[in-house]
Amino acid sequence: MIRNTNASPQRRRRYWRITLASVVLMVVGAMALPLIGYVYVGVSDVYAQGGGAEDTNPRANYWRAVREGQPGSGAGGTSYSSVTGRPMPGSDAAWLNREADSLIGGGGQNWRQIRNRVIAVYGGWILFGLIVVMLHFYAIRGKIKLEDGRSGERILRWTAWERFVHWTTAASFLVLAVTGLSLLFGRSILIPIMGPEGFAVWAAMAMYVHELVGPWIFTPAVALLLSTWLIHNLPEKGDLEWWLKGGGIIGKSHPSSGRVNSGEKLWFWFIATVGVACIVTGVILAFPIEWEQTRSTMQLSSVIHGAAALLWIGFWMGHAYIGTIGTEGALEGMTTGYVDANWAKQHHDRWYEQVADTAEPAPEKPAGDAAGAPTTASA
């Protein structure tokens, strides 16, 4: 059971009811609301085809053939295509022939449906739901405090190099998240607010920044992050027990952990798998001409990139929550490099036993700073 030291039993029950009702409404809404679009499309298709009587509307057969990519769909057995089918053996542009003689590629229609009606709709609901759940969780659980207070001693947790790699990755990730979400949800959210002209300017800027930061800053930073922390994220004894005890977030006990706990390891391996897939597809999308990408490759990369990016943003929100407002004393480890000795003992006891003899006196804070500094017990 989730412990709340700051709320009465009546308030806890009320929070649980509100949380349950919110989750149910989000799930029902996520499943039901998108169906309205499919009903509209179905009615529109029936109307366009004259209620299903294809023989009364010869244009339906024509456009069906075009959508299926059949060559020679036009008058006289010919159709126009901007990509012609001239054979170019041995040419560097021979890859163009794979998509020749097709007026409209059906893959583009399918890609738009997946991007706009699956990834954007359900991904948006999932992100919104995660925010609501975290707010409810914080209201119920509150910040995980240091049980024994400040010890007056500190231990080095992250070196200057590790913090540089972390913050470079984090800063570029935030830039990519903002610009990427702007491009994904711009039509439904930003255009009504900014107007078409204003959004057009912002979208052009967002695309430029996204394609600049992604391949040239974020990708090398993630490579450095994975190589720097790989040795600390290998499986070890006690990882499963950490999950069975709720990671110290749920319940009263604080499971044993080494320098990196199982939750941090899951975050690392998520980046190493789903994150890498997001990066690879992003690079493919950023260099379509240089790598001679086909439309189908670009469409598949776009779908994978969008889905993986939304999962990454959702996972990051949980990571950021636990490392900032969710746990007292966690953020200072990545800002100053040091953590309080009691924090290390409470959250990473096995690592603390290895480095306890390196503890040093914590610097005294000037009077008046204690109330607002994030490293104090009142934070």
pLDDT tens digit string along 225-262?
999 999 999 999 888 989 888 877 776 678 889 999 99
* Residues 335/158, Cβ–Cβ less than 8 Å: no
Q: Of residues 154 and 89, which shows the higher confidence score?
A: 154
Q: Is 129 part of any domain?
A: yes
Q: Is 120 part of any domain?
A: yes
pLDDT digits (tens, 9 = 90+) for 2-12: 444 444 566 65
Q: Is 351 part of any domain?
A: no
Q: Is 58 part of any domain?
A: yes
Q: What's the Cα-to-Cα distance from 291 to each of 58, 100, 223, 297, 298, rounded to whole Å? A: 41, 18, 21, 11, 11
Q: Is 10 part of any domain?
A: yes
* Residues shown for the chain: 379
Distance CA 263, CA 221 (A): 21
Distance CA 232, CA 348 (A): 13
Instruction: For residue 83, name the pLDDT band (cuts at 50, 70, 90).
Output: low
Q: What is the pLDDT of residue 99?
A: 56
Instruction: For residue 113, name the pLDDT band (cuts at 50, 70, 90).
Output: confident
Q: Is 119 part of any domain?
A: yes
Q: Is 314 part of any domain?
A: no
pLDDT digits (tens, 9 = 90+) for 172-220: 999 999 999 999 998 888 888 889 899 999 999 999 999 999 999 999 9
Q: What's the Cα-to-Cα distance from 314 to each of 36, 128, 319, 321, 345, rounded to whole Å? A: 26, 9, 9, 11, 29
Q: Is 169 part of any domain?
A: no
Q: Domain containing 126: what range?
A: 1-69+104-142
For the cut 70, the answer to whether the pLDDT of residue 154 exceeds it is: yes
- Number of domains comprising the chain: 1
* CB hemisphere CA count around 58 (13 angstroms): 3
